[in-house]
Amino acid sequence: MKLVEMTVNTYIDTVASDAPAPGGGSASALCGAQGAGLATMVAGLTIGKKKYAEFNDACVEIRDNGTPLVEALKAQIDKDTDAFNLVSAAFKMPKETDEDKKARSAAIQHGTLVSTEVPFETMTLALDALRNAKKLLNGFNTNAASDLGVAALDLLACVKGAWLNVLINIGSLKDTEKAEMFRTQGLAVVKEAEEIAGEIYGEIEKIICQ
């Protein structure tokens, strides 16, 4: 059964068990899907409201851009666990002969690369969702201000959680050029995500506290 098809109770119980997966990568993607979903919800709660009519078209665009990001981040929940299983299976391959060892090593490297690519993709999707959510600061239904704040927190948790999963894998990549690419681009994603999430959260505090 896919993780996204589980009930919330079953999923959480599986995470809390001694099973090695789903782990932090899948949990990060779930945070991202929730965050993107909350931002999309805030846009939806603004659309069609007379008080916020001037922001209607912008919120329709935000909602329409956000919906596929929700779906993509949901897909990452299972993709991350699938990537872990790929590495796990590779380590269980036979290593009796030189041919065995060569095939096993290649499979481990392939699995490690996929296990790096997946959380990196999760990071970039969450950053896109943060950029989309930031547009709501131009005008939205402030009754949902706390929801937008939580969206920013969820999406930042997704970026930084996925980043940890990138970091833990790039140390095992033999392709040092790719490892450095992930490191350089990943740091840039984290920096921008922190800035956007901080801006959103700060603005939400001002709205709620005024």
Q: What is the pLDDT of residue 208?
A: 95
For the chain, what is the mean pLDDT? 96
For the beta carbon of residue 194, count every other beta carbon within 10 angstroms. Answer: 14
Domain boundaries, the chain: 20-209
CATH number of this structure's domain 20-209: 1.20.120.680
Q: Which pLDDT score is estimated for 141?
A: 97
Q: Write down the pLDDT at residue 35.
A: 98
- The pLDDT assigned to 78 comes to 95
Q: Which is nearest to 6 in space by CA: 22, 23, 25?
A: 22
Positions in the chain whose pLDDT score sits under 50:
none
Q: What is the rounded CA–CA span in Å between residue 36 and residue 150? A: 10
- pTM value? 0.95
Count of Cβ atoms closer than 10 Å to residue 9 Cβ: 8
Identify which of 88, 157, 169 has the alpha carbon closest to the alpha carbon of residue 123: 157
pLDDT of the residue at 210: 76
Q: What does the pLDDT read at residue 1?
A: 83
Give the tokens for residue 129.
């969702």
- Residue 19: the pLDDT is 87
- Which of 56, 63, 81, 72 minimizes the C-alpha distance to 1? 81
Q: CA 88, CA 50: separation in Å to the nearest integer?
A: 55
Tens digit of each residue's pLDDT (9 = 90 or more) over 32-64: 999 999 999 999 999 999 999 999 999 999 999
Whole-number CA gyration radius for the chain: 20
Structure confidence at residue 33 (pLDDT): 98
| DSSP string of 92-105, one letter each residue | TS--SSHHHHHHHH
